[in-house]
Structure 1
């Protein structure tokens, strides 16, 4: 028996750009916005409490400077989150699941269905209010999920969960 290892040329490889990725639910943007607003409200509340209870002159003199920095950070974080939302897309194919995300650092994760050990569907309280779910795909050898797709409509998440469960259990 002889070993062969033929070279594959780049033009023969399938192109990821040819995959039609589907955007996650626009309702998930509301959850992102609510989370960002809660974070900014918490930061603002801490600063205002500091203004009321910290009597140190250095803090009182620089309060508005610190407050403007925190508000600028919140605004930039908010804008980046909204722009990054548009980059969250996924695809489920016969042999793999693809998830793309990121605005500043764009990442595309592909998990072969044959490597998935189990799949988990989770829903936070807020996600239940918007009828959304998160799918976590686990492969061997990792302590956490290898792929987490947040913001899927609940029914669609159940369908994907059922499809992948059937595939990984060998009932193709």
Structure 2
């Protein structure tokens, strides 16, 4: 038996940029907003609570600067979250699943269907109330999911799960 290891020409590889990525449900932005507002409320409450626990004159004199600074950081974080939401997109192709996300650090994850062990659809109580689900894709050798696509409409998540499961089990 002769060993062969031919070189693959990169120009012959499929171009991932040609994939048409579909944005996740705009309803998921409501969940992101509610989660952010709850987190900001906790942070602002903690900062406001410090006003009553720290009696030093330096802190008391500069409290409103600290409070306004925290509010500005929250606003900037919220704007970045909204802009980053628009970058969350996915595609299901014949041989792989693609998920793109990130505004400052953009990442595109591609999971070959041949490497998928199982697929799971899950829903938090908040996602259930908005009719959304998360699709978790697991491959061999990892302790958690390799790819999670949040913000899919529930019925679409079930359909995608069924399609991928059929391909993984050799029924398609």
TM bucket, shorter chain: over 0.9
How far residue 55 of structure 1 moved from its aligned partner, in angstroms, is 2.1
Which shows bigger deviation, 131-140 or 32-41?
Answer: 32-41
User: Does 1:92 pair with 2:92?
Assistant: yes
Q: How does 1:16-165 map to 2 (within 5 A)?
A: 16-165=16-165
Moved segments of 4+, more than 6 Å: none
What are the ranges of 5 or more consecutive residues in structure 1 without an aligned counterpart?
none
Which shows bigger deviation, 130-139 or 8-17?
Answer: 8-17
How far residue 125 of structure 1 moved from its aligned partner, in angstroms, is 0.9
Give the aligned CA root-mean-square deviation in angstroms.
1.2
Cα deviation digits, residues 61-106 of structure 1 (max 9, x gap): 2211211221111011101100001110000111110000000111
Which shows bigger deviation, 17-26 or 67-76?
Answer: 67-76
TM-score normalised by the chain length of structure 1: 0.95
